[in-house]
Amino acid sequence: MKKGVKEKQQEEIFPRLVSGFLRNSRVFLVVLVCWGFCAALMLFDVKLSTGGDDATYILQANDFIKKGMLPIGFKSPGYPMLLSILVFLFGMNILVLKLSSLAFYIGSLISFYVIFRNRLEKSTFLLSIVLFASNLLVLQYACHTYSEMAFLFIELWVFHALFTVEERQQYESVLAISLVALLAMVGFYIRAIGATLPIAIVLWIFVARRWKQGILFIIVCAFLYTPMKVLEFTRGQPVLAQSSDIFKINPYNPTLGMETFEGFLIRIRDNLFVYVNTLIPKALGLPHKEEHAIATGILIHDMTSILGILFSLILFVGIVVALWKKERVLGILGLYAFVYILSISFALQTLFVTPRMLVPMVPLFIPLFLYGLQHVLHRVLRTRNTITSSLKSWYTICTVALCVSTMVYLGDAVKHNLPILKANLKGDEFAGYTPDWVNYLKACRWIAKNLPKDSVGIICRKAELFRIYTDDYKTHGVYSIETTDPDTLVNHWRAWGMTHILYDNFQWSSTLRRYVQPALQKYPAMFEVIHQEGHSSPSFVLAIHYDRQKDNN
């Protein structure tokens, strides 16, 4: 094939896509939704995540609907309250609860279509929604009862409400501004990091020098935040304990104290490094290495890191140019993306670095990245914003490479997940867990079968998962090293009514072992192994005999 003919075919790819979409937009949406649904099913995980947050949300939803306990104390209360509706209708059915996240994913996909179809340039819109529907990071969380999918759905409609105010120039409408504030605060109540929504919106309003609109927005947000503060005052405990953890060096080890100003600067730097060289490329479906997804303070590990930094810079160009040109849609998205990344880099300790935090940003990153790519190509090719054959060819090559990269990662993940999913559906509930987790969960099942629920208290790690796998046995969850004094530990256990310890052998954490070790060393006669689960990375069930404490004195 001659070079000229090949270039002409490349140039015609996007016009063909756009014209085909304009002729068959509804068919396109149906096909896209079916594709997203099938991809999510192939990546579906019927098990609970080992992270534990999904189990926490489920337990809070169950406690709210069954015991009237408000889901407060650590995370935003909105998502458990949302899940409680399903618990009320279907009981604590894990599969149904997981399917709710899939529903929010499909709803977000449809919402993106409705909200951005006529607000983005057609080829950018088409590429963005296809990449969104095929994004591995989003699809992996479309089956977990985490708050990301619900937050993403709300987030998109917050922007729709704000775009509408801008387009209709409803700057003096109290109702319109109040609706934007209401949706933004719903996002905050669904997910704590949702506080970035009202922050970014009020910044956008003030940059435009619409002071009255900004003040009204702040007043409405403050009014909607008031119930949380009233609840804190009446109950004498924080609704969002996460907010105080921000200032700790390590929330799992309070003895390390509070973060210093220099410590915050280092935290922000290290977080930004890992977002730029690994996690943002991962969120965009670009090449990355999982072993680099930790905050080590190193910006460049290898050539993959350099490639990741390059693509992050392209995204940054998209954000800056959109803000500089005061683009109504991409400018708002760009400001929000900037506030969001800076906020999580400040608020989260480096040990919490995870691509999960970027899930709600994926459909916003993609059009900003494509916008940045166009401007980078204009600069490199010196086309000065005119559409040339060279620009079209390079843009086609880059976007096709992006699509191929997305599909490669998606295909690899499906290939890995399908055998596990099949095993789970055939009755092997532990397929996909590592041996240490299998032994831990089997030990939970053993406790539920062999120890009396009404007179047993269990000390363990990952108490949320333990409660679900034992049908809610009384437990004391170990999250940090509260004290190293053995007598204080024993006195606490006795006061709490703890009778046993589920002594795990987790390979990723030694928290419980370090927590229990002082008492084990000083009073070995107090502890009796009554069950061992597994041989490789085994878990042990220990009975605590308080009457033997004096035998070691």
> At 250, phi and psi to the nearest 5?
-145, 110
Cβ–Cβ < 8 Å for 101, 57: no
- Tens digits of residue pLDDT in 53-70: 888 899 999 988 988 887
What confidence score (pLDDT) does residue 119 get? 94
Cβ–Cβ < 8 Å for 502, 440: yes
Query: Residue 474: helix, strand or coil by DSSP?
Result: strand
Q: What are the contacts of 62-65 at 24+ separation with CB within 8 A? A: 62/87, 62/92
What confidence score (pLDDT) does residue 257 get? 81
Cβ–Cβ < 8 Å for 86, 96: yes
User: When comparing pLDDT for 449 and 8, which is higher?
Assistant: 449
Mean pLDDT of 362-367: 96
Mean pLDDT of 224-249: 74
pLDDT band (50, 70, 90) for residue 378: confident
Cα four-point dihedral sign 254, 260, 263, 264:
positive
Q: Which residues of 515-532 are buried (b: 16+ CB within 10 A; e: fewer)?
A: bbebbbebbeebbeeebe
The gap from C-alpha 507 to its chain's centroid, in whole angstroms, comes to 23
What confidence score (pLDDT) does residue 28 get? 87
Q: Which residues of 458-487 are buried (b: 16+ CB within 10 A; e: fewer)?
A: bbbbbbbbbbbbbebbbbebbeebeeeebe
Find the DSSP H helices in 117-195: 122-133, 136-141, 148-168, 174-190
Query: Would you call 6 exposed, middle or buried from its count of C-beta atoms within 10 A (0-12, 13-18, 19+)?
Result: exposed
Cβ–Cβ < 8 Å for 139, 149: no
Query: Residue 537: helix, strand or coil by DSSP?
Result: coil
What confidence score (pLDDT) does residue 243 get? 67
Checking DSSP bridges between strand 539-544 and strand 500-503, what pairing results, if any?
A: antiparallel
> At 143, phi and psi to the nearest 5?
-125, 5
pLDDT at 10 over 70: no
Q: Which of 7-16, 59-68, 334-343, 512-521 has the highest mean pLDDT?
A: 334-343
- The residue assigned the tokens 């702040």 is 218
CA-based R_g, the chain, Å: 26
Report percent pLDDT > 90 for the chain: 61
Which helix (DSSP H) or strand (DSSP E) does residue 275 occupy? none
Which residues pair with residue 527 across a beta bridge?
544
pLDDT at 553 over 60: no
pLDDT at 279 over 70: yes
Task: Give the distance between the most distant pair of CA atoms in the chain.
Answer: 91
Checking DSSP bridges between strand 474-477 and strand 539-544, what pairing results, if any?
A: unpaired
Alpha-carbon distances of 515 from 484, 509, 518, 520, rounded to whole Å: 7, 11, 7, 10
What confidence score (pLDDT) does residue 6 get? 45
Find the DSSP H helices in 284-327: 303-324
Give the pair of three-digit tokens for residue 294. Answer: 């930790």
pLDDT at 193 over 70: yes
Mean pLDDT of 436-451: 96
Alpha-carbon distances of 169 from 158, 173, 176, 210, 315, rounded to whole Å: 16, 9, 10, 11, 29
DSSP string, 498-529: --EEEE---SS--HHHHHHHHHHHH-GGGEEE
pLDDT at 392 over 80: no
Mean pLDDT (the chain, rounded) = 88
Mean pLDDT of 466-491: 89
Give the pair of three-digit tokens for residue 339. Answer: 């506030």
pLDDT at 7 over 50: no
Q: Which amino acid is at 387?
A: I
> At 528, phi and psi to the nearest 5?
-125, 125
Cβ–Cβ < 8 Å for 240, 77: no
Residue length, the chain? 553
Query: Would you call 110 exposed, middle or buried from its count of C-beta atoms within 10 A (0-12, 13-18, 19+)?
Result: middle
Measured from the Cβ of residue 73, the count of other Cβ atoms closer than 10 Å reads: 15
Nearest by Cα to 201 from 192, 189, 187: 187
- Across 375-384, 427-436, 508-517, least confident range: 375-384
Mean pLDDT of 20-48: 88
Compute the distance between CA of residue 456 and CA of residue 438 in angstroms, rounded to an integer: 22
Query: What is the value of pTM for the model shown?
Result: 0.90
pLDDT at 508 over 90: no
Q: Which of 108-117, 166-175, 239-248, 278-287 has the highest mean pLDDT?
A: 108-117
Compute the distance between CA of residue 480 and CA of residue 349 in angstroms, rounded to an integer: 15
pLDDT band (50, 70, 90) for residue 459: very high
Alpha-carbon distances of 25 from 19, 21, 106, 277, rounded to whole Å: 10, 5, 17, 37
pLDDT at 239 over 70: no
Cβ–Cβ < 8 Å for 421, 523: no
- Across 5-19, 161-175, 350-364, least confident range: 5-19
pLDDT at 180 over 70: yes
In which order are the strands placed within the sheet that holds 474-477? Answer: 474-477, 457-460, 500-503, 539-544, 527-533
Query: Residue 259: helix, strand or coil by DSSP?
Result: coil
What confidence score (pLDDT) does residue 5 get? 44
What confidence score (pLDDT) does residue 74 get? 63
HSE-up (13 A, CA, CB side) for residue 35: 18
- Tens digits of residue pLDDT in 140-174: 999 999 999 999 999 999 999 999 999 998 888 89
Phi-psi region of 285 (alpha: psi -120 to 50; beta: other; left: phi over 0): left
Cβ–Cβ < 8 Å for 402, 284: yes
pLDDT band (50, 70, 90) for residue 259: confident
Q: Which amino acid is at 181?
A: A
Q: Which amino acid is at 288?
A: H
pLDDT at 72 over 50: yes
Mean pLDDT of 15-41: 83
Which helix (DSSP H) or strand (DSSP E) does residue 477 occupy? strand 474-477
- Tens digits of residue pLDDT in 396-409: 888 888 889 899 99
Query: Residue 13: helix, strand or coil by DSSP?
Result: helix
Which helix (DSSP H) or strand (DSSP E) does residue 121 occupy? none
User: When comparing pLDDT for 319 and 16, which is higher?
Assistant: 319
